[in-house]
Structure 1
């Protein structure tokens, strides 16, 4: 019987043969035996299964590893975390895999377990994941060439292609896998299969390596909220001298992220070698999820591409309470970790490294999980039975505040035992002394509890020495409860005015561009305001003006004008 594969999201080739394995009324049917798909795309592997009536199915598993009788479920394999989906229809065993990688190439098998017997569908489905590559053939004519879009496995009968020249779609080209053009050594080319433009080939030069192009090390990156990420690209220009480079994100024009107030104090561009640029973003928030692009400028032009850049997805970590006492550590995407860390009542559980954990029968306990290697960014603590367990969760893991201002640090809490007799805040490195009793904070701290189960620590007139990690604890009649998990880290920043560039020097005046710098950025998309000789001048990220010797300049965050930078006089020596 000849049937087409149930496959989408750039499934390029399949062997048109339905494979049925059946035994005593048990069976698995795969709608294809071989599938070729492009890296970065989505594949759907069609599958159905049968079993006798009066038999109960207990479990459905897709696997590539282990032997047929002890398979490792793809849903619990960290390599596939956040990328696999099993069909919700019970008699369907269709498997979906997103964001394909070349390492996903394997033989996939389905197994189901019943209260009578277990059954595995053999031989399975062979998936080959290919990356597109452009090959340049100049054998026919010296100044003309044929570009060929190649893959490592056979595509289906007549896929339609798209070609790009210097990062821009070629509107006049046909939809063939080849394209002929006059070869200008400054040009670069890339190809994709129509409908799946996000999975383009790397850009290649047609002659040598000196052409205008940008290639990204990763098309997609998953990172945990609060952590840091590096996004890298390689680039080169046909013109030897590149004057400037920068990164920007989709949906925000092409503004340099170093000038974007949302990223103030959190971004850094690293260029340790020629032709490679890395954007580092610290203290990630979910609003940082976006597609990031690189561009460069020469003396004659600015070069940027319409091709996809690197898509960053920022995820938080959560504990999911499933049936019974089984807990799962889940994320929206896979940050490429191989093991997990579990916490019980804020203390690490030794030997627990799987994505799942069996909770104890004691419902007073709370649980949290983290990804191995980035334990500082753990999930919120959860109870396994309602809301009554011992736990503390912080509203924010990190806070940036301006020197001289005030800050509120909040937590929610509850106890299995009631009533709670007392609550207090303390900071790391100073024992667990109540901050209201600490002489460093005398007259500056206040504990606010306007509703049950929520506590807010307010610190006024902040100093840079207040930068620390703050924790909450409570006491009942029989115990004191505090956690070894990270609390809220406060960074107090003092603004500084820096000269970013000198534009021109005159006999009595100097034209200068100024930047307002801080070690971190308060929450929100804040803007700077500028003062010259104590008079408000302008509201923008930088300040350019003619300055006289003796002019005094300061800056502040908008809304925090009372907490200005130190006044500076930079112009007597220019």
Structure 2
């Protein structure tokens, strides 16, 4: 029986194919055994202890590290045959000529390194940062007086230096380039708190004061002699009201449809929990509470602005955004002659700031850009209608002016002399006509005085009767006298 079993084992070892497992997963990590059964009653056998398979990722291990230079090893928990070669990656790019499981070089804080076994490039090691460094979530934040701010950071360091595991012994925040723990600063007593979770840390400052405006830095110290690192530059905190602005981005979906996106942002990052409130023409848009607001259309008279709501209170208002108003256009000088220099000026009120373009009627290409358009050595052909177009990301507007170019200066002077002579002659003729009319009126008045008087009859008043009687008596006396003269 023993001989038969040996023969069977020999037969199996010769004829049986190896076990192949493709697309390995971490759950495939286990001990694999081979079992065979014979025709004998107790002819069953399991190979112990079996083969232990460990499905593990490669890892980049730091062997030695100085401030910039490090020596690395591509480490696997299970030994690989010597015939395997390796590939090294730096910031996602293949490092040419590196095929062993070790690699040394110079690196900066932002470099990321990984490795892989050649032929298994789809399964590289996780990329690691093996240098000293501190990364801040934001390098510029602001907060209003009396509020609370939270500053975030993460730090990194090589896991081993000179074959000694790295261990962090102290970590703290400081200000004003003095590496003193902020919690021990009397100016911040009872107002600061720092917390760390793994390699991520936060600094909380409550009841902000104007004197808290400064640059804050994080520092950590390790068990290595030179293993101290400060994150520079740090985080600049400004204790002031944020300056809100509305950015405009316009997009055309097709020839019939456009949309406009408004974004409310600050000159520095706000630390307090907050939401945004949008206003259209002075009325609150209730449905929008995010930093961006998408519009289907923008009417010429529309004005939008945003505010920030902190702890239920609205604070900080942005300037409104709107389309350009009707531009004002002017020309200088007002009288334009050939050969002179002429300046056209255009101005409009708009937010965001508008671009200015000058056109001449019936000409497609623009004549100039900018608020001021200057024409030197102007000629008659420059005469015509000009219009200024003002445009920003929300819309456009334009206005026109008529430019008339006169002849040269000598012609102008001659024309002025002629005009002056004509005016003087007209004045002289008017004076003569006036004198003639006055003389004619005087002669007419004299002729009327020489005509016989008419008898005024009135029965209604006794005075007029006396006057009439007196005239009758006088007339009678005159007649008697004339008769006597005839007799003589």
TM-score of the pair, normalised by structure 1: 0.25
TM-score of the pair, normalised by structure 2: 0.28
* Higher normalized helix content (fraction of residues): 2
